[in-house]
Structure 1
Amino acid sequence: MRPRVFLHVGSPKTGTTFLQDVLWSQRATAGEQGLLLPGERFNDHFLATLDVRGLVDDPSCPERARGMWDRLVAEALAWDGSVLISHELFAGATAEQARQAVAALADDAEVHVVVTARDHVRQISAEWQEHVKHRSAATFDAFIREVRDDAARTSWFWQVQDYAGVLERWGAGLPADQVHVVTVPPAGADPTILWERFAGLLGVDPAAFDIELERSNTSLGAEQAELLRRVNVELGDRLPLPGPYPLVVKNVLAHRVLEPRAGTRLALDAADQEFAAAAARGIADRIAAMGADVVGDLDELVPVVGGATADEDRDDNAYAVPSDATLLAESVATIAELLVVLNERRAAVQRADDLTTTAQEKPIRFALVHASEQRPLLRKLRAAYRAAKERRSN
Structure 2
Amino acid sequence: MASTSARPRVFLHVGSPKTGTTFLQDVLWSQRERAAEHGLRLPGERFHDHFLATLDVRGLADDPAYPERARGMWDRLAAEALSSDGNVLISHELFAGANAEQARRAVARLSGGAEVHVVVTARDHVRQISAEWQEHVKHRSAASFGGFVEGVRNDTARTSWFWQVQDYAGVLERWGADLPPERLHLVTVPPSGADPTILWDRFARTIGLDPAALDTELERSNSSLGAEQAELLRRVNLELGERLPLPGPYPLVVKNVLAHRILEARSGTRLALAAEDQEYAVAESRAVADRLGAMGVDVVGDLADLVPTTGSGAATDTDPYAVPPDATLLAEGVATIADLLVVLNERRAAVQRADDLATTAQEKPVRFALVQAAENRPVLRKLRSAYRLAKARRRGEQPD
Tell me the TM-score normalised to structure 2 length: 0.90
Select which of 81, 85, 89 maps to 2:86.
Answer: 81
Q: CA deviation at 1:57?
A: 1.5
- Identify the residue that residue 388 of structure 1 maps to in structure 2: none
Q: Is the 8 A contact 2:14 2:120 kept in 1?
A: yes
SS at match of 2:140: coil
Output the aligned Cα RMSD. Answer: 2.0
Q: CA deviation at 1:308?
A: 2.8
Q: 1:131 to 1:353 in 2, by over 3 A?
A: same
When residues 378 and 50 of structure 1 are mapped into structure 2, their CA distance, relative to the original with a 3 A threshold, is: closer
- Any residues of structure 2 matched to 1:219-234 within 5 Å, and which? 219-234=224-239
- 1:174 paired to 2:157: no
Is 1:54 matched up with 2:59?
A: yes
Structure 1's 188 and 316: CA in aligned 2 closer, same or farther, altered over 3 A?
farther
Q: Residue 152 of structure 1 corresponds to which residue in structure 2?
A: 157
Q: Which has the larger radius of gyration?
A: 1
Counterpart in 1 of 2:255? 250
2:273–2:313: 8 Å Cα contact kept in structure 1? no
**2:121 aligned partner:** 116
In the alignment, structure 1 segments of 5+ residues that lack a partner are 382-394
Provide closer, same or farther for how the CA distance between residues 9 and 325 of structure 1 changes in structure 2, counting only shifts above 3 A. Answer: same
Distance change in 2, residues 1:358/1:240 (3 Å): same
1:391 maps to: none
Given that residues 50 and 92 in structure 2 are in contact (C-alpha distance below 8 angstroms), is that contact kept between their aligned partners in structure 1?
yes
Query: May I ask how many residue pairs the two structures share in their alignment?
Result: 378
SS in 2 for 1:333: helix
- Inter-CA distance 358–116: structure 2 relative to 1 (3 Å threshold): closer
Would you say the 8 A contact 1:268–1:317 is kept in 2? no
Shift of 1:315: 6.8
1:265 Cα deviation after fit: 0.7
Cα deviation for residue 12 of structure 1 reads 0.0
- Residue 374 (structure 1) shift: 6.9
**Residues 82, 113 of structure 2: 8 Å contact kept:** yes
Match for residue 335 of structure 2 among 329, 333, 336: 333
Q: 3-state SS of the aligned residue for 1:259?
A: helix
Q: Deviations over 1:184-216 (max 9, x none)?
A: 000000111100000111111111110010001
Cα 1:339–1:100 shift into 2, 3 Å = same
**Inter-partner Cα distance in structure 2 for 1:342 and 1:297:** 45
My pick for the range that moved more, 168-177 or 354-363, is 354-363
Query: TM-score, normalising length from structure 1?
Result: 0.92
SS in 2 for 1:370: helix
Deviations along 1:44-74, one digit per CA (max 9) or x if unpaired, are: 0000000000111111121101111111111
The correspondence for 2:47, drawn from 39, 42, 45, is: 42
Distance of 2:80 and 2:362 partners within structure 1: 42
Contact residue 223 and residue 330 of structure 1 kept, 8 A: yes
SS at match of 2:378: helix
Specify the alignment match of 2:144 in structure 1. Answer: 139
Structure 2 partner of 1:320 = 322
Q: What is the one-letter code of the residue matched to 1:141?
A: G
- The alignment status of 1:236 with 2:241, answered yes or no, reads yes
Structure 2 alignment gaps of length 5 or more: 1-5, 384-400
Equivalent position SS for 2:78: helix
Letter paired with 2:344: L
- Residues 164 and 357 (structure 1 numbering): CA distance in 2 closer, same or farther, change over 3 Å? closer
Label 1:359 to 1:14 Cα distance change in 2 as closer, same or farther (>3 A): closer
How do 1:173-192 and structure 2 match up within 5 A? 173-192=178-197
1:1-394 map, 5 Å: 1-308=6-313, 318-356=320-358, 358=360, 365-372=367-374, 376-377=378-379
CA distance in 2, matches of 1:21, 1:360: 34
Give distance in 2, aligned partners of 1:358 and 1:50.
Answer: 39
Is the 1:270–1:317 contact (alpha carbons within 8 Å) kept by the matching residues of 2?
no
1:366–1:103: structure 2 CA closer, same or farther, 3 Å change rule? closer
Quick check: 2:373–2:379 contact (8 Å CA) kept in 1? no
AA paired with 2:8?
P
Q: Give the conservation status (yes or no) of the 8 Å contact 1:267–1:317.
A: no
How many percent identity over aligned positions? Answer: 79
Contact 1:270/1:318 (<8 A) preserved: no
Q: Secondary structure at the match of 2:242?
A: coil
CA shift at 1:306, angstroms? 1.6
